[in-house]
Amino acid sequence: MGFSAIPPTTNQATALASLDMWSTRADAAIMHVDVQWAAMLAGMSAAEAARANAFDLANYYRAHNLPIVLMLDVTNGLARSQEAAELVAAGRSITEPAIQQLYRDYVLAIVDVVRPTHIGLAAETNLIRAAAPSAVYDAVVTMTNAAASDLRSRGVATPLYVSVQVETAWGRLAGGGPSAYVGIDDDLRDFPFIDALGLSSYPYLGGFATPDDIPTDYYSRIAATRSLPLMVVEGGWSSGSLGTFQSSPQLQARYIHRQSELLDAANAVAVFQLTFTDIDVSSIPQPPGSILPLFAALGMVDTQLRPKPALAVWDSLYARRRQ
């Protein structure tokens, strides 16, 4: 159980206070890392870029005895139809062999820096396949398989995974409501190297009005054709209302409990929320139409680090986990 280091604001003191607050109620950490495209395109080596991006935080986690799960993001995490913003700004694409080689170099470098317990080579692959141009998805398949081969040829035996988007697998995300179950057979075929499966799950974005509406096999059905350890590597339930979606801090707390039931039903091995705190979106520059506000109220605490009801539920589950 754990979180990432995403802070509520750009204030460094608040960011450090948030880290200190959640590190006592977690037994692992997740590093959801964007490939440092701009730095490498500017001439920085992959080793230098990885060290600048992750060294200090990885050392903080190790000093707090928190094993690290690594998740690399190769496209735009807030717009899966698009490539990473740094590549778009540079007029480059992962469809280029040279850019794929940069990714492969970065994978080897970031693994050396972070020394994770699990290595995620791409995030939300089924959503990329559904939303992005086919050439982009094909590039993700090519480069992750090549990176997996690179790691194994270097003698790295750490379990590898990709993540899939649960609402997309259930056919719910595109229309925001129920549809035919899609599954992830294509992902299991295209990423044969995986030793585990990451899950990204935001059920409130999939049309569920309450946590109790989520079926008990919501996680367990995903990898039904393969016996893979399951890890929730991002997700949550907003404590605030969004458009026609109505929520509250109490409903969010109910979700944390309901999620524990889904995790138990799937025999999941880990659960991570990227945000321990809410996010002050007014402090973060965003492009027009950004979906970041949809994820602003997922925290266990608010932007001032004041606990929400969900924190007590998380703490009770964490205490059970340690018994």
Model confidence at 6, pLDDT cuts 50, 70, 90, reads very high
**Contact yes or no for 151/109 (Cβ under 8 A):** no
Q: State the pLDDT at residue 59.
A: 97
Model confidence at 282, pLDDT cuts 50, 70, 90, reads confident
CA distance 7 to 42: 27
**Contact yes or no for 74/94 (Cβ under 8 A):** yes
- pLDDT, tens digit, 9 for 90 and up, residues 195-213: 999 999 999 999 999 999 9
Is the pLDDT at 107 greater than 70, yes or no?
A: yes
- pLDDT, tens digit, 9 for 90 and up, residues 270-279: 999 999 999 9
**Contact yes or no for 68/58 (Cβ under 8 A):** yes
CA distance 294 to 98: 35
Total structural domains in the chain?
1
Is the pLDDT at 177 greater than 60, yes or no?
A: no
Residue 149 tokens read as 């081969």
Is the pLDDT at 297 greater than 60, yes or no?
A: yes
What average pLDDT is seen over the chain?
A: 94
Is the pLDDT at 224 greater than 80, yes or no?
A: no
pTM: 0.94
Please indicate whether residue 68 or residue 292 has the higher confidence score (pLDDT).
68
Burial class (CB in 10 A: 0-12, 13-18, 19+), 245: middle
Say which CATH number the domain at 185 has: 3.20.20.80
Is the pLDDT at 182 greater than 80, yes or no?
A: yes
Domain housing 295:
2-321
Is the pLDDT at 262 greater than 60, yes or no?
A: yes
Mean pLDDT of 74-82: 93
